[in-house]
Chains A and B, each alone.
Chain A
Amino acid sequence: MNWYAIQLECLLAILAVVVLLTDAFRPVRDARRIGLILSALVGLTLLYSFTMQPLGEAVFQGMYRLDTLALFFKRLFLLATAFVLLMSAEFVERIEAGRVEFYVLLLLCATGMLVLASANDFILMFVALELVTICFFVLTSYLRRQVPSLEAGTKYLILGALSSGLTVYGIAYLLGITGTANFEKLRAVLTEAPVGEATGLWFGMVLVLAGLGFKIASVPFQVWAPDVYQGAPTPVTAMLAVGSKAAGFVLLMRVLMTGLLPLEPVWGPVVLGLAGASLVYGNLGALPQRDIKRLLGYSSIGHAGYVLMGVAAVNALGVAAVLFYHGQYAFTTLCAFLAIVAVTRVTGRDDIASFAGLHRRAPILGLALFLAMMSLAGVPPLSGFFGKFQLFAAVIDRAQMDARYYWLAGIGAAAVVVSLYFYLNVGRAIYMQSSDRTDAIPVSWPVRVGLWICMGAMIGLGVYQRPLVDAALQAARVFGLE
């Protein structure tokens, strides 16, 4: 056993089991405190992960890779988990029963994501993917007395099962034709053998793409996102938006740029089309929305489109841009959801109108949510601007060889313009509209600390991007693209 490679996963799993058993024998009374402690512990794990070094070779019979890319995403997931646990601690009083199990499920879900970041084999990928997805089935429907939550859970369950079925069907095709489930071996087989008219291969590939498209909420596998984002408990929505999406993207890149790289001429145009369609759908769909979580659901589809631009470019610049974008997007989105949790805890409403005059009721929440919206829209000097800048630069770079990519860049630019409208709408509610409620919204110190970290990162990475850019460039070298 190579314990070094899986130590982070083990840590999280043990933590989950310990918490579960403790609660079983000595029921926890103060669930909020446990949440804060767990958040701090995961934060420490994140710090610890910076001492780890990548391993050169794949381990566990080539199934598992601990390269710079895996470490990059593991850190991202740990960051997201720490923040989501913090949010949950603020949220937990709204859960009627099974408060501690909520944390446990989040930890297990995170464990699955950490494994996914390292998956180098279709079988491991599928197992870890199911671990994550099944945790989410339960988590989305956790508010069991509330119809929207149950509805969201059901939809996620049915569509998730559909996508899992298609994925495993696709894997079977690929495995059957090439005789291997390992990404690197698959690439070797595909490079050697002529793949001219391998219809079955393409069929399998599209099915796997559909499964991953479901995870990242890309058109046309996005239909679940607005409903589930709106109905799920807010911390779960945050986990979906940051963790689940990033997990989908790391897998997508591993599958496409390692295993199926020889088929690039086939899947390249497909990813290009999905990127454009997601950009259009997500940003147009967000326009008429009145509910902030639903708005963020559409926005999440739009952001899948932006990130797919970087994947579609299939160059080192593009992969680095995808990684940078995820890094800054995590801070931005977590900032938004943390502020939303703190506000809705008092107001109990999710509609944008209920955020009117927020800057008077809780200046820090107003500022944090406003900055997050501006960063999502890509307004300089916030980090979202530089993230988008890099993605566009990668696409333009590719467009020098293939003029179709200019169209993608054009659609992306139009999407940015459209998105300003609905993001600014939130800002307008916060700063320009007044509300009849003027009582202050209390903000606890852990939330304050979390918000300052996120805001600091948004501004810091917007002004001085090099640390994250360097890390992203280094991790992007894993694929050996130009």
Chain B
Amino acid sequence: MNPVWLILFAPLGAAAVITLVTQRWKMLSAFVSCAAILLGFVLSVGIFLQQGQWQSPEPLRWLVLEGGWVIEFGATVDRLSVLMLLVVTGVGSAIHIYSIGYMRGDPGFSRYFACLSLFTFSMLGIVLSNNFIQIFIFWELVGVSSYLLIGYWFERPSAAEAGKKAFLVNRIGDFGMMLGILLLWTEAGTFSFAELPERVAAIPAGTLGLISALIFCGAVGKSAQVPLHVWLPDAMEGPTPVSALIHAATMVAAGVYMLCRVAFLILPSETALTLIAWVGGVTALMAATIAITQNDIKRILAYSTLSQLGYMIMSVGLTGITPAMFHLTTHAFFKALLFLGAGSVIHALHHEQDIWKMGGLWRKMPVTFVTFLIGTLALAGVWPLSGFYSKDEILLLALKENMALFVVGVVTAFLTAYYMGRGCFVAFFGRPRDRHAYEHAHESPLVMTAPLVFLAILSVIGGWGSYVPHFLQPEGHGAHHEAWKGFLLLLVPAAGFGVAAWIYGRAEPSDEPVKAALGRLWNVLENKYYFDEVYLWIVRNVQGAVASGCELFDRWALQRLGVGGLAGVTGLAGKTLRLLQTGNVQAYAFVFGVGLTVIIFYVVVR
């Protein structure tokens, strides 16, 4: 049997075993879940090492219907999916292990690991899918597991609301994606990724652009791009390791991965590419500007994630599939690291997430501090950390393709360094602002710090030698590094950190100078450009009005007349038939005989 099946189904098995059998024994449940993903990681590394002898397993013919309608259940093994397998299982393993420490003592410990395994299964399903139906099913499964994990502390109303919001917003994007898939099927007659590329050429350009744009809607939802980005910051209500795994490293990257997987659809369409590039660029800039005003350490990271996803989407829109996947990979390393570091701080401070209540933590939590600093530098794109290489590829690509987007990218890079610098200075330096919390702060246990170190190492070396792009495009990959331009770009994060240090690098840092400088703009940013408010207004007024109109029609026309009438007639018919069933055996024999006579009459006289 091909090992990819084992990689895919081991987490599902773990989820089932935990739910049905081991739920009562917490540590055993955690062990089962971790073992499943570690097995997946080891097998993925094994597959990776056998480069050149890859074979996609024979797909299962899942549904075969009349008229050549075949839906397969398959697994694609190629450079793209192997890279993604390594990222998902590698980062996932670190986060699974970290969770053992972070979630210790939580009453739903086993449920947490069952959900985590379910998520891993769904995510690997997206990675391995070989057709649109399969990817859509797993796409939705990922949505479900994300919903379960965001609302993991469902007794908190805010968590339950956030889960609902994430699910609903994602559904909007998924609806577009489904329309795109169906439209594609009517044009090309197949769902298979293997067969589609050759049939795409026959589709008229306008239709293809529409299909690409519709399928891109799915990515907009899942990868939280403007205007469907509103769910991701709220999703931080989930446990921090979940934010690291799902809402930073893997699931939100699924949109980018999907676009790369179906690049053959998008690349021929100029219009779709422009749309995608600008959505990415706008998201990158907008999220970065919001991040400079946030006070919750996880929300800063959430907006930073949005911004980095914007980079990736922008890269796809500029036809840079390889740079997008490169940045996806390095981002998975350092963003998971940052979230886990933030989780370590939150854990130490008993669930305090406000950076203004921290301060001076570097003395108390050296490992967390150093690894968090590495993550910050990598995210800002400082040489020689991984983020430098991947971000530069995207920026240099933008410089070549589209000057306006290049400027957007550079400004975003500056802001990235600035807001991460602000977060670091406020949380780790300066004088402790909350004496009580500071006294009780302590370094996290080994089970949490070991994954931090593992991810920190990856964040440092992940970009060296541009290994990932070479792996994806062995025959020589496009954007050749012009070293001097890259190093010139180093000035951007340096400037960002410099400004942050100048404002916040003091014993009693404060937002006041920035507030004074930005004036009204600060309020707009602090309120996230009022997206939530506008959406709420639309939902209340437009959707509400339509809904009450429909409700009236439904209640009076459909329920009273339509359904009520039909149900009345049906029920009456049922009761009438009951009269036939008198319980009297002579009557039964009579019915029998009459029925028989009618049939004979029909057949003979006809």
Contact = CB atoms under 8 A, between A and B. Distances in A.
Interface of A: 151, 154-155, 158-159, 162-163, 166, 199, 202-203, 205-207, 209-210, 214, 219-221, 223-224, 226-227, 266-267, 269-270, 273, 281, 284-288, 317, 393, 397, 418, 464-466, 469
Contacts of B575: 287-288
Contacts of A154: 585
B574 A284 contact: yes
Contacts of B603: 202-203, 205-206, 266-267, 270
B596 A288 contact: no
B198 interface: no
B588 interface: yes
B577 interface: yes
Contacts of B65: 393
Contacts of B574: 284-288
Contacts of B588: 155, 159, 223-224
B573 to A, nearest CB: 5
Interface string B282-321: 0000000000000000000000000000000000000000
Nearest to A166: B596
B332 to A, nearest CB: 31
A202 B577 contact: no
29 contacts: A159-B585, A159-B588, A159-B592, A205-B603, A207-B596, A209-B599, A210-B592, A214-B592, A220-B592, A220-B596, A221-B595, A221-B596, A224-B588, A267-B603, A270-B602, A273-B602, A284-B570, A284-B577, A285-B578, A286-B574, A287-B570, A287-B574, A287-B575, A288-B571, A288-B574, A317-B66, A393-B66, A464-B60, A466-B64
B596 A281 contact: no
B66 to A, nearest CB: 7
A42 B127 CA distance: 45
Interface of A is mostly: helix
A154 B583 CA distance: 12
Interface in B569-596: 570-571, 573-575, 577-578, 580-581, 583, 585, 587-589, 591-592, 594-596
State the 4 A-B residue pairs at the shortest beta-carbon distance, nearest first: A220-B595, A287-B574, A223-B588, A284-B574
Nearest to B601: A206
A153 B215 CA distance: 63
B577 A158 contact: no
Interface of B: 60-66, 570-571, 573-575, 577-578, 580-581, 583, 585, 587-589, 591-592, 594-596, 598-600, 602-604
Contacts, number: 89
Contacts of B63: 465
Contacts of B64: 466, 469
Contact of B598 (A163, A199, A220, A317): A220
Contact of A287 (B60, B62, B571): B571
Contacts of A214: 592
A162 B590 CA distance: 11
B61 A220 contact: no
A210 B596 contact: yes
B596 A285 contact: no
A270 B604 contact: no
B598 A158 contact: no
A89 B61 CA distance: 41
Contacts of A286: 574
A151 B592 CA distance: 18
A147 to B, nearest CB: 12
